[in-house]
Amino acid sequence: MNILSFRNLMLGTFLSFTGVASCQEDSAKINISEDEMIAELIQTKVKLQKSHNIGDRFVIQLFSGSNGEASEEIKDYESLYDYPARIKYEAPNYKVWVGNFRNRLEADRALLVIKETYPSAFIPKPKRK
The reported pLDDT for the residue numbered 26 is 54
CA atoms of 92 and 90, how far apart (whole Å): 6
Please indicate whether residue 127 or residue 68 has the higher confidence score (pLDDT). Answer: 68
The reported pLDDT for the residue numbered 28 is 64
Residues 129/123, Cβ–Cβ less than 8 Å: no
The verdict on residue 30 lying in a domain is no
Confidence band, pLDDT 50/70/90 cuts, at residue 79? very high
Alpha-helical (H) ranges within the chain are: 2-27, 36-50, 67-78, 104-114
CA atoms of 74 and 60, how far apart (whole Å): 13
Please indicate whether residue 23 or residue 64 has the higher confidence score (pLDDT). Answer: 64
Q: What is the mean pLDDT of residues 74-94?
A: 92
Confidence band, pLDDT 50/70/90 cuts, at residue 3? low
Domain that residue 92 falls in: 62-114
The reported pLDDT for the residue numbered 30 is 77
How many domains are there within the chain? 1
The verdict on residue 28 lying in a domain is no
The verdict on residue 67 lying in a domain is yes
Q: Is the pLDDT of residue 129 over 60?
A: no
pLDDT, tens digit, 9 for 90 and up, residues 88-125: 998 899 999 999 888 899 999 999 999 999 999 999 98
The verdict on residue 85 lying in a domain is yes
Closest of 47, 73, 48, 62 to residue 110, by C-alpha: 62
Closest of 120, 125, 64 to residue 89, by C-alpha: 64
